[in-house]
Structure 1
Amino acid sequence: MARKHVHISIISIFTFIGAIATVSGHMYTDPASLPIKTYDYIIIGAGIGGSVIANRLTEDTNVNVLVIEAGISNEDEVLTRIPFVAPQLSPYTPYTWNYTTIPQKACNNRTMPFPRGRILGGSSSINFMMHTRGSVDDFDRIACATMDESWSWTSLFPYFLKSEMLVPPADEHDTAGQVDPALHGHLGSLFVSLSGYSFPGFDGRVVKTTKELELEFPFNTDMNSGYPLGIGYTQSTIGSGERSSAATAYLEPALERPNLDILIHTTVTNIVQTGIAGHLPILRGVRCATDPSASPVSFEASREVILSAGAIGTPHILLLSGIGNSTEIGALGIEPLLDIPDVGRNLVDHPIISFSYLVNSTATFDDLRFPGVAAEYLTQWQDTKTGLYVDGPGNLLAWLRIPDDSPIFNLHFDPSAGPHSPHFEFIFTNGFVSFTEPSPPNGSYMTIFVALASPSSRGAVTLENADPFSAPRIDPAFLETDFDIHAMRAAVQSAKRFVNSSAWADYIIAPHGAWAEVTTDDEFDQYIRDRTASEWHPVGTAAMSACDTGAGVVSPNLSVKGAVGLRIVDASIFPFLPAAHVQASLYAIAERAADIIKYDYA
């Protein structure tokens, strides 16, 4: 999701930092200070995968768990609790890894920010909180590719329910017709709710358009049914007006357990072989350090190391450990340990653009450009957990397909998972939002984000060098296939048809900026290549595959192929990118992974 250019006083937010209670537990910042060096399980990374696994494994008082996180604690980071200020958390802040892509050839050689969370909770502590599961086709395709039906939609659905607790929105409005409670969990750890601050003049026009142009833009009561196509109300990981993250939902409740240690500010430099089982290396050792000049400290797992460093961090650590393409690793002076050529390959992400319109309204969030207005909203959030700051970027969104009879399919295969899976996404935002243009000094605006939900381009994460404190090379290869540029153009043209409905006739005054000059296909393409960015949903770099194939990195039980004692639980294991914001899928996968691990050691 792109960053909003809105003006919110960070200083004023920190004036009430003590208003939010924090917790304490077994938290360490120096690896040398830990009382033991051997744990039953060592988890690398405290994002969604690592947080869920840590919570579930420590439910058993007979095992002990160490979580190693390179980033900071979330405990006193008030900004991570306020939903609306999510844009202030990235791309270049203390909360992220501050990655940048290599120049993107199909995007006029632009580099792009590529933030990943470097904090307890990982990217769930900095993302835009949209909670979308994807389609039945997304998961049935994974089940087919892995030859394992336990990854199908039907098999994963109970884990979607297990992870979440559907709660009332912050304004406690009547949600009838906006969500189907029967499709949701009500006892899980993660809060999920509808938007808690409405913009009737804007949201109502979006819904009205679904009635006027129902054939192209049908209304969908609940997009998390597995059948997401249409336009519906946004569900977000927000509860009682605050962000619900992997840290708040899973780690914080487990912090008082005596069998959980969390080590922060500590970078894992490599995974270490600790033995051999038959002809397979045992990979239960972890080496880490607080900074490049610090002496490394080693830990060992008696059962497993669980790598949950994310779609960028996980392949980075594997490659540094000698696990990957042996020729490429050896060329950097790293001793090859396990030849798995697909490590770091198959990187895929959702490309996204935005465009804005000047509108006839005074009820947008553009008035936040005035410090007094921003301060009032902030005080309201502090005092009552209500108001504008309780929500993320938009109250409604769309998942849509290119028509089956489009000429595009005469030239290109369809990369989507199936007929129930979208090709593109719209996010409707009641204010000016851009990642390429500054905020206008006056006026009121609306913005539509357009993201390619089923891209066909594939990139890679590779090593820049053998220094574990140096960032890897990140190449999402945006728009490098003909299908992707044609599909993005089709999506943008669909968005133009949406705003040309009569619902917007007395509302939209004019397109803003360069968007006003776009009319021809060539101009569409140029606009897209000039402004495409990442929606920050990378997956696929340690992909799951069937047990009997040489491709991929992990087996269907998420164990690294050709090794013992190393498992991966994060977004890197997706063989395909779900046509959804990825976090909901990750929570379900991590819940299932916890059950797999428990079963293996029962």
Structure 2
Amino acid sequence: MGKTYLNPSDLPNSSYDFIVVGAGNAGGVLAARLSENPEFRVLVIEAGLSDLGPDSDVLRIPLLAARTPGTKFDWDYETTPQPGLDGRVIPFPRGHVVGGSSNTNNMVYIRGPSEDFDRLARISGDDGWSWKNLQKYIKMNERHVRPWNDRNDDEDYDPAAHGNGPLQTSLVAEPSDFDRRVIEAAEQLKGQFRYNRDLNSGDCLGVGGGNVYHVHCWIHTTVGNGARSSSSTAFLNPALQSRDNIDLLLHSHVTRLVPIGGDSNDFRMVELTQDANAQRFILTASKEVILCAGAIGTPQILQLSGIGPKHVLERAGVTQLVDLPDIGRHLQDQPMVFFHWRVNATTLSTFLRDPANIGACMAEYNDSKTGFAAGAAFFNTMVLLRLPEDSAILKEESKDPAAGPNSAHFLIPTPHNPGQVAVPTEGDWISIAAVVQSPTSEGSVEIKTASAFDHPAIDPAYFSASFDMKTMVAAFKTIAKFFSAPVWEDYIAEAAPETAALTTDEAIEAYVRKYANTLKHPVATARISKAEETRGVVGPDLAVKKVKGVRVVDASVLPFAVAGFPQAQVYILAERAAALTKERWAK
């Protein structure tokens, strides 16, 4: 059995074959897969908390999925002031716990279109990243399970799109009247919207007769047996419980990677500590250091190590050792905003206002892990959309930012619950989100000081590119079109006052700047590129360029915002990365 340590001084060794930095989405998979080889000794370093400690029920109970931001399980990041959001500074939640954001996110599992992966293959120059060639890793990672009530959901998903892996995903246990109406609206608006049985099949949109079909589908969530299924529950914790060649170190910050031999480009030494003023420790990876610290943590660690753009490092008081200008650049995130309508039906808005309802749900869950708290509560369906091919918005772009003609520009999760500040506080309401899925705005992650305990400057640069705002405006108009279907006539009563006032593009834009927030999908701060290219941070094998012994496996390597949800894609990245690493070091 592997051991969990709370202090670096307690570690039995100062050297391991592999040191995995970050026990999150990718780190849990990497560590578990590498430890399958009994010859490998693996250490996982996690800055955050155990996912099995006090108050950790909030991580596992699906109903509580949205309650982790701002808690001890959150890094408590925030953005720089955003000109595109009227100068607002917004929270930027990331998981500060074993399992990382896979233990704190809203559990949506959508791999996205095959084109996303095929674009990754083109950009990296490695066909192994294509949708076709990743099928082995997709199937070994995830499996569909029925929801807590064992509802027969055979007609609602495609079994061929799912495998037999440790990660469990499921559909809604009890479809609502709202869900039924969403599906019926798609039928009534044929030619504009169509039903897609499974968004994880690689088919997310279809094009025919010159018209773009907008796709509706049920949402898979990472829930199994009435609880969240995460990188830790599915991969890391089982490995720790069954193997003695893997260790986990908690509450420890990696402050930098240190070159072996002073001026070497071999960075397989890891400096870490538990407090800004505490003792520093040095550990060595005989084979590789694998950074899985995420789109914020990974560029921060590399920059603190003297690897990155010179002007950023000098400003923070760090000596540049390796010139890699793209580290921390090209940050992309997907902005989201909610719109509200009053309805002639009972919705979660009323249900959630009464604490007694939550208490009853939790009592049932604690007794049997069943009921409302045992499944994803807030959205069951999703509509993925493209701008029309003759759209003036697309004509103004030099290149379509989506991965291909079957990839979404924006999406509409269709929850039926309150979703943001300014939601009405009385009556029954639905809140419909609009998300720019293929943004063109690019920002940055830059260290401000030489301390790992000072958060970096996180600038997603929301709406700095005009395409993103125009697409958000188009998204709102599409929502209005969707609600024009006959099935909504007896359901929709009226728009909330602020939503009703959105009668011009200028009004919609002002509303978006006032209320938009993050979907929490940062990517691209250590982008992949072809091996021979000077741009980018990692090559097709995810090894850091110009550096020996360091690999990056997390959302930072994704070159663009994805048309799926990043957690699903990162799981797949991690599976292949583990295979590549095993192959590299096979005896």
Aligned to 1:45: 22
| Structure 1 partner of 2:312 | 328
Q: Matches of 2:345 and 2:401 in 1, distance apart?
A: 40
Q: Equivalent of 2:356, from 359, 372, 382?
A: 372
Question: 2:322 & 2:450 partners in 1: Cα distance?
Answer: 16
**Among 24, 33, 40, which residue is 2:10 paired with?**
33
Corresponding residue for 2:59?
80
Matches within 5 A, 1:148-297: 148-185=126-163, 187-199=164-176, 201-229=177-205, 230-256=215-241, 257-275=243-261, 281-297=265-281
Paired position in structure 2 for 1:353: 337
Q: Which residue of 1 aligns with 2:386?
A: 401
Q: Does 1:64 align with 2:41?
A: yes
Contact 2:296/2:445 (8 A) holds in 1: yes
1:449 aligns with 2:425: no
Q: Given that residues 424 and 496 in structure 2 are in contact (C-alpha distance below 8 angstroms), is that contact kept between their aligned partners in structure 1?
A: no
Deviation at 1:445? 1.3
- 1: CA distance, partners of 2:388 / 2:374: 36
Deviation at 1:293, TM superposition (A): 1.8
Q: Give, in angstroms, the shift of residue 559 of structure 1.
A: 0.5
Q: Which runs of 5+ in 2 are unaligned?
A: 206-214
Cα displacement (A) at 1:364: 2.9
Measure, in 2, the Cα distance between the counterparts of 1:451 and 1:599: 39
* Aligned residue number for residue 5 of structure 1: none
Question: What is the deviation of 1:365?
Answer: 5.1
State how far apart, in whole Å, the 2-side matches of 1:166 and 1:532 are.
33
- Rounded Cα–Cα distance in structure 1 between residues aligned with 2:3 and 2:497: 52
SS class of match (1:282): coil
Q: Deviations over 1:389-424 (max 9, x none)?
A: 122231111111111111222222321111110011
State the SS of the aligned residue for 1:142. Answer: helix
Describe the superposition over 1:121-153 as per-residue Cα deviations: whole angstroms up to 9, x where unpaired. 000000001000111111111111111111111
Instruction: Report whether the alignment pairs 1:526 with 2:502.
Output: no
Q: CA deviation at 1:25?
A: 5.0
TM-score (norm 2): 0.95
C-alpha distance in structure 2 between counterparts of 1:47 and 1:351, whole Å:
23
State the SS of the aligned residue for 1:236.
coil
Task: Count residues in correspondence.
Answer: 572
Displacement of 1:337 after TM fit?
Answer: 1.3
In the aligned structure 1, how far is the partner of 2:74 from the partner of 2:464?
27
How is 1:376-391 mapped onto 2 (pairs within 5 angstroms)?
376-391=360-375
Q: Which ranges of structure 1 fall in alignment gaps of 5 or more residues?
A: 1-23
Q: 1:177 is paired with a residue of what secondary structure?
A: helix
Distance 1:351 1:560 in 2: 29
Matched to 2:35, the amino acid is T
- Contact preservation (8 Å) 2:312, 2:446: no
1:93 to 71, 84, 89: 71
Rounded to whole Å, the distance in 2 between the matches of 1:327 and 1:87 is 38
Report the identity percentage.
40
1:327/1:365 CA distance change after superposition, 3 Å = closer
Conserved 8 A contact 1:366-1:432: no
After TM superposition, give the deviation of residue 208 of structure 1 in Å: 0.6
SS in structure 1 of the partner of residue 170 of structure 2:
strand
Aligned counterparts of 1:559 and 1:265: Cα–Cα separation in 2: 26
CA offsets 1:163-184 (integer angstroms, 9 cap, x no match): 0021111222221321000111
Contact 1:270 1:317 in 2 (8 A): yes
- Residue 318 of structure 1 corresponds to 302
Q: Compare 311-320 and 150-159 and name the one that shifted more.
A: 150-159
- SS of residue paired to 2:81: coil
Contact 1:197–1:390 under 8 Å retained in 2: no
TM superposition score normalised by structure 1: 0.93
Secondary structure, counterpart of 2:169 in structure 1 = strand
